[in-house]
Amino acid sequence: MVALSLPQNSSVQLRTSLLPQKTPNLNRALQLPLNDITLRGMRSKGTRVVRRICLAISEKESLGSMDAVAKNSSPIIVIDNYDSFTYNLCQYMGELGCNFEVYRNDELTVDELRKKNPRGILISPGPGAPQDSGISLQTVLELGPEVPLFGVCMGLQCIGEAFGGKVVRSPYGVMHGKSSLVYHNEGGEDGLFAGISNPFTVGRYHSLVIDRDTFPDVLEMTAWTEDGLVMAARHKVHRHLLGVQFHPESIITTEGKTIVSNFIKLIESKEAVSAPTPVQPLTQDDLKKLAADKAVEYVSSGMVLGLGTGSTAAFVVDKIGQLLASGQLTNIIGVPTSKRTQEQAASLGIPLSILDDHPKLDLAIDGADEVDPDLNLVKGRGGALLREKMVEAASDKFVVVVDDSKLVTGLGGSGLAMPVEVVQFCWKYNLVRLQELFKSEGCDAKLRLDGDGKPYVTDNMNYIVDLYFKTPIKDAWSAGKEISAFEGVVEHGLFLDMTTAVIIAGKDGVSVKSPLRSNQEWFVASFYILLSCWLVGGSWNV
């Protein structure tokens, strides 16, 4: 049972996953007058349980500077990581006059969340690690740059991990309901700690922290304990993206409600700044630069980077060179995917290497020619598909940068080339075989020519056969296997299940999409754990 004590004259909408369908004392359980409670979206599933009941609170008589908050019809969205403290945070926001809605972390997708047009997002505490937080990590990456976002406890850990940091066990053990003094360096009007004592007392309920040794360069630490543990952080560029490790809603935290109020004020100040109207529409190069700048946020000092090839990737390499020259990045090593990129990177002073010397890369950034809804790619129209695939397959993370013209409903759907690199020996033989392979799909196979009308030669001294499909490829996985089975085929331009994130620039701004693999991987892992237990113990009672 969740108990909320909210001010009078409040309208309430409750969203929770499990609530008894017959609760005669519902008003007493929530400590609110029954006539103040609005239940909508009720739906039972035969188990005497009401699911998907919505909760939002808006105070009719808001206080002081919170008048504008109450008048704003867009909600603050709270992502509930299955933690009872979530509703204590909600209570603070309700008392401050906020309109908000609470959704469990597996109750909606990031795209569905975006369509709700939230004025702010709060990621709640929760059990486990960031990998257990449903859409929270993806929300940080996709919506954090656009929408004010406040992470609490595991919410802060999600921010740290999303930008490349590691979340580790606290060296000082489990802190559950314990108080600590916290110091901060952010007393300005736009900070979480405006008007907060320094130091001040907080309540801590966690066993994990962001590792100081891998703390992301794109973040700044804004609060810490006496023993140096990260207690708060903020994005250096997107200043509205921030979080705390402690619990501001805990009674132990002496000034927690002020911190929540400061987050709401931050939302208000961002809303007060109207975006300037562009004098002219953004060009395709403008969009590519926007995507490239966003991609470089994934880069941290000390990384070994795969440097892509193509017009969009060139903007990424330029940006990395600028950051190295200014000292904002240090100790970067680049592994180029083409001679063209090698020359560009060398001219910018980027130290270079090859896979022989650095067989494991931290990150690769590259463009793409097509991106399907599952974030599979067609690449290689720039002629570097073999080296691109080798470098990007050797990378822990692969970030793709495109403008929205590259989005397709299915690979091959643009009507442009899907390249296949073949050896020069008997290239016509393979061209005919490739065309015959996809004859039923109306495929036309052509040898790629250079500007002089001669066969285009790759950096690896091979030719390229371009396949032109009239309709999207029906089964890209099967197509890739069948193409690779031909003797004389070196590589194809289908990059399947390789992406970590795709950054897309369009007229409405930059968005980030990530493959939805986590639930599938969790299911497979859980299945094998259960199977192992059954094989060992002969029982499913684990």
Q: 126: closest CA among 169, 75, 85, 76?
A: 85
Structure tokens at 63: 């206080």
Number of residues written out for the chain = 542
| Ramachandran area for residue 500 (φ above 0: left; ψ -120 to 50: alpha; else beta) | alpha
Residues known to be catalytic? 153, 247, 249
- CA angle 290/294/298 to nearest 5° reads 160
For tokens 């490739």, name the residue: 434
What sections of 104-188 are H helices per DSSP? 110-115, 136-143, 154-162
Q: Rounded to an integer, what distance in angstroms lies between the CA atom of residue 6 and that of residue 482?
A: 63
Question: Which string of DSSP letters, residue by residue, matches 241-307?
Answer: EEEESSBTTSTTSTTHHHHHHHHHHHHHHHHHSPPPPPSSPPPHHHHHHHHHHHHHTT--TT-EEEE
Check if the beta carbon of residue 457 is closer than 8 Å to that of residue 490. Answer: no
Q: Rounded to an integer, what distance in angstroms lies between the CA atom of residue 412 and that of residue 418?
A: 7
Q: What's 429's DSSP letter?
A: H
Burial annotation 373-396 (CB, 10 A radius, 16+ → b, else e): eebbbbbbbbbbbbbbbebbebbe
Strands of 230-235's sheet in order across: 100-104, 76-80, 120-123, 149-152, 241-244, 230-235, 219-225, 175-184, 200-206
Q: 300: closest CA among 341, 332, 325?
A: 332
Q: Rounded to an integer, what distance in angstroms lies between the CA atom of residue 90 and that of residue 150?
A: 13
SS3 212: helix
Q: 142: closest CA among 113, 99, 107?
A: 113
Q: How many helices (H) and strands (E) does the chain have?
A: 14, 30
Cα-Cα-Cα-Cα dihedral sign, residues 488, 491, 494, 498? positive
Structure tokens at 218: 């794109």
Q: Rounded to an integer, what distance in angstroms lies between the CA atom of residue 169 and that of residue 32?
A: 40
- CA angle 60/61/63 to nearest 5° reads 135
Q: What's 178's DSSP letter?
A: E
Phi–psi pair at 210, nearest 5 degrees: -75, 130
